[in-house]
């Protein structure tokens, strides 16, 4: 700001100095000759003023770039921190493509808007003030004429900016929707092809793309209309000053140098007005993006951690005591649910889709908070245990595999970054990853992309199991962990899982009932409630819900028609 003040001061002094040079030439032509020494000194002063203004402006731009980029660095850091502080429900309820657009496109747009507008707005406002001072110094009458354009300019700018802001908000919202469709389509590209839904996807994209086009077209049109309006007003003002100024020179009230300086000031006055108006529209785009980013930053965070991490190693004694939970108040899912998993036990959870099986383990992981009741780990309410400490004791293998860009070795080590190479190899051998890794060109150094294209779906599942094996958790959660492997591999995985589950509490969600026959206790869920529990043999003997599920999988359909 200080540099801008001095830079603008030098800029507005320039026309006054050049006006003096014009007077020296004009006076010399009317007299015996031009005083070239005085003229050279005046022109030298003008040159020094403009060079100094340029250097100060350059340094100002350099500092501003650093300020804006540091601000954007902190904003990206705050958004990243915020995302980790948000509850899982927020991510589940919002389009991931739109969230990605807020973190990337919107922050980039804020950066560009600030970079373009801050410097120009500051310089323009200071220029308007400085030029007005110099204009009043030259001629009060002409300065008042020049001032007449300001209220008209402000009215035009306000009217256009009010309309353009809504357009820019729509533009960036539609940009997020387009990104969401692209992210979904590319992620499920094979599924789209397999079901022949290209035409439907293209139609959805075309509709959203058309909406984006209309919103962006309207925003850019409204933004672009301000400049010709301001140029028109500036030209009218310039004509009025030229006519009245010429009359004042003829009357002897002003010198030729004065009117030349004032003409330059008139141009200097209308240009920053036009720039200011244009920058307000650039700011509207930035404000629209900022609102989307701040909406994310203002989102309600998950409740803060309370208490301290357990001082002793986790034994794995888990109790659900009168637990109640629903994703939405109008649709209760789990009500007054209670059961206990003792240390070292394997608890299998079965039931139809939507019964609440995965919800149970999500509650144990504190991905969601309870509506009522409590979950107790080793005699302590998990709500009083920091989430990071709780989750560090739980290993999880999901049905949906997740691998990141990196080597096979790095993906396995994700379960325990401090693990040695020998421990990684031991985990790989125990989970039969070692069998297929040696068939790859680079072995454990084979680089996988985010989709794990170099390995099959079953092999990706094995990698995630190896990751959990390496973590060596006190509690293990297996959510359909063998759903993507063939029958032979499933047998091998079951052996590995038996070794992995030994001496630790395990929760196994399974649709294949053959994989849970050796479970200590089987919980049968329907509509968020436990309708049966017991061992495999006990539940079969009861001829209840579990028996029907088992029959549907292992008895020929002709024997079950009734």
To which residue do tokens 């992995």 refer? 500
Q: Residue 507 phi/psi, 5° resolution?
A: -115, 120
User: Which among 366, 309, 374 has a CA at the least distance from the CA of 337?
Assistant: 374
pLDDT attached to residue 374: 92
What rounded mean pLDDT belongs to the chain? 81
User: Which among 364, 388, 377 has a CA at the least distance from the CA of 304?
Assistant: 388
Q: In which element (H, E) is residue 245 found?
A: helix 198-250
To which residue do tokens 């108040």 refer? 329
> Where is pLDDT greater, at 310 or 525?
525
Whether the pLDDT of residue 520 is over 60: the answer is yes
**Rounded average pLDDT over 384-404:** 83
Beta strands (DSSP E) in 284-329 are: 318-325
Q: Do strands 475-479 and 394-397 pair parallel, antiparallel, or not at all (unpaired)?
A: parallel
**Rounded average pLDDT over 178-195:** 71
Distance between CA atoms of residues 544 and 524, nearest Å: 10
Summarize pLDDT for 432-479 with one digit per residue, the tens. 888 888 888 888 888 887 555 677 777 888 888 888 888 888 888 888
Q: Which of 84-98, 468-482, 493-507 has the lowest mean pLDDT?
A: 493-507
pLDDT attached to residue 319: 92
Whether the pLDDT of residue 561 is over 60: the answer is no
Whether the pLDDT of residue 375 is over 90: the answer is yes
| Residues present in the chain in total | 562
- Sequence-distant (≥ 6) Cβ neighbours of residue 562 within 8 angstroms: none
What distances in angstroms separate CA 247 from CA 137, 254, 370, one per listed residue?
18, 9, 83
Beta strands (DSSP E) in 81-173 are: none
User: Which among 24, 291, 252 has a CA at the least distance from the CA of 173?
Assistant: 291
User: Which among 472, 536, 466 has a CA at the least distance from the CA of 503?
Assistant: 472
Beta strands (DSSP E) in 190-314 are: none
Model confidence band, residue 485 (pLDDT cutoffs 50, 70, 90): low
> Where is pLDDT greater, at 112 or 281?
112
Whether the pLDDT of residue 526 is over 50: the answer is yes
What distances in angstroms separate CA 530 from CA 300, 303, 479, 537, one per listed residue?
32, 28, 18, 18
Distance between CA atoms of residues 116 and 68, nearest Å: 10
Task: Give this prediction's pTM.
Answer: 0.63
Whether the pLDDT of residue 554 is over 70: the answer is no
Distance between CA atoms of residues 163 and 63, nearest Å: 33
pLDDT attached to residue 376: 92
Distance between CA atoms of residues 306 and 466, nearest Å: 32
User: Which among 498, 507, 508 has a CA at the least distance from the CA of 475?
Assistant: 507
Whether the pLDDT of residue 557 is over 60: the answer is no
Distance between CA atoms of residues 528 and 320, nearest Å: 13
Q: Where are the alpha helices (DSSP H) in 472-520?
A: 487-501
pLDDT attached to residue 489: 64
- Residue 314 CB-density burial (10 A; 0-12 exposed, 13-18 middle, 19+ buried): buried
Q: Which of 112-126, 359-373, 491-505 has the lowest mean pLDDT?
A: 491-505
How far does the chain reach from its first CA to its final CA, in angstroms? 85
Whether the pLDDT of residue 161 is over 50: the answer is yes
Whether the pLDDT of residue 296 is over 80: the answer is yes
Number of other residues whose CB lies within 10 A of the CB of residue 44: 11
Q: How many CA atoms lie within 13 A of 142 on its CB side?
A: 33
Number of other residues whose CB lies within 10 A of the CB of residue 468: 25
**Rounded average pLDDT over 40-63:** 88
Whether the pLDDT of residue 255 is over 90: the answer is no
pLDDT attached to residue 560: 46
User: Which among 546, 553, 547 has a CA at the least distance from the CA of 525?
Assistant: 546
Contact assessment for residue 403 and residue 450, using Cβ atoms and an 8 Å cutoff? yes
Distance between CA atoms of residues 340 and 320, nearest Å: 6
pLDDT attached to residue 216: 83
Model confidence band, residue 559 (pLDDT cutoffs 50, 70, 90): very low
pLDDT attached to residue 481: 65
Contact assessment for residue 446 and residue 408, using Cβ atoms and an 8 Å cutoff? yes
pLDDT attached to residue 311: 64
pLDDT attached to residue 453: 60
pLDDT attached to residue 294: 92
Summarize pLDDT for 316-350 with one digit per residue, the tens. 889 999 999 988 877 888 888 888 988 888 898 98
Model confidence band, residue 143 (pLDDT cutoffs 50, 70, 90): confident
Contact assessment for residue 513 and residue 490, using Cβ atoms and an 8 Å cutoff? no
**Rounded average pLDDT over 263-291:** 76
């Amino acid at each position: 700001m200080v540099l801008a003040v001095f830079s603008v001061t030098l800029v507005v002094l320039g026309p006054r100095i050049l006006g003096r040079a014009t007077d020296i030439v004009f006076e010399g032509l009317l007299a015996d000759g031009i005083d070239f020494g005085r003229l050279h000194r005046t022109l030298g002063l003008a040159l020094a003023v403009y060079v100094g203004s340029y250097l100060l402006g350059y340094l100002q731009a350099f500092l501003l770039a650093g300020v804006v980029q540091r601000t954007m660095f902190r904003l990206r850091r705050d958004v990243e921190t915020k995302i980790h502080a948000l509850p899982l429900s927020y991510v589940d309820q919002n389009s991931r493509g739109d969230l990605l657009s807020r973190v990337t496109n919107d922050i980039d747009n804020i950066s560009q808007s600030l970079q373009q507008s801050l410097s120009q707005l500051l310089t323009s406002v200071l220029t308007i003030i400085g030029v007005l001072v110099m204009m009043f110094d030259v001629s009060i009458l002409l300065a008042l004429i020049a001032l007449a354009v300001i209220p008209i300019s402000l009215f035009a700018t306000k009217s256009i900016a009010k309309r353009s802001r809504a357009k820019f908000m729509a533009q960036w919202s539609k940009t997020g929707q387009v990104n969401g469709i692209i992210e979904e389509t590319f992620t499920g590209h094979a599924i789209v092809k397999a079901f022949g839904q290209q035409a439907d996807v293209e139609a959805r994209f075309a509709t959203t793309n058309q909406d984006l086009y209309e919103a962006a077209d309207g925003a850019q049109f409204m933004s672009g209309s301000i400049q010709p309006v301001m140029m028109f007003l500036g030209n009218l003002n310039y004509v009025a000053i030229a006519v009245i100024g010429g009359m004042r020179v003829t009357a002897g009230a002003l010198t030729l140098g004065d009117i030349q300086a004032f003409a330059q000031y008139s141009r200097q006055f209308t240009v920053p007005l036009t720039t200011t108006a244009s920058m307000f529209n650039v700011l509207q785009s930035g404000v629209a993006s900022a609102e989307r980013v701040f909406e994310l930053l203002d989102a309600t965070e998950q409740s803060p951690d309370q208490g301290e991490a357990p001082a002793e190693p986790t034994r794995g004694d888990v109790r659900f005591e009168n637990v109640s939970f629903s994703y939405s108040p109008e649709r209760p899912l789990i009500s007054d649910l209670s059961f206990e998993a003792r240390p070292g036990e394997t608890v299998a959870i079965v039931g139809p889709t939507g019964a609440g099986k995965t919800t149970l383990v999500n509650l144990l992981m504190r991905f969601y908070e309870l509506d009522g009741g409590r979950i107790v780990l080793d005699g302590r309410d998990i709500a009083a245990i920091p989430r990071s400490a709780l989750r560090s004791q739980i290993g999880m293998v999901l049905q949906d595999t997740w691998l990141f860009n990196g080597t096979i070795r790095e993906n396995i080590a994700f379960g325990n970054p401090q693990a040695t190479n020998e421990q990684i190899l031991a985990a790989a051998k125990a989970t039969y990853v070692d069998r297929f890794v040696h068939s790859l060109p680079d072995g454990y150094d084979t680089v996988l992309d985010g989709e794990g294209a170099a390995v099959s779906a079953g092999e990706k599942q094995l990698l995630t199991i190896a990751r959990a094996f390496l973590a060596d958790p006190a509690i293990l959660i297996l959510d359909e962990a063998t759903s993507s492997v063939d029958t032979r591999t499933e047998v091998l995985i079951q052996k590995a899982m038996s070794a992995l589950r030994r001496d630790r509490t395990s929760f196994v969600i399974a649709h294949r009932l053959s994989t849970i026959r050796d479970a200590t206790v089987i919980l049968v869920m329907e509509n968020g409630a436990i309708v049966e529990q017991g061992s495999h043999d006990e539940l079969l003997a009861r001829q209840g819900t579990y028996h029907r599920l088992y029959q549907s999988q292992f008895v020929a359909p002709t024997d079950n028609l009734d």
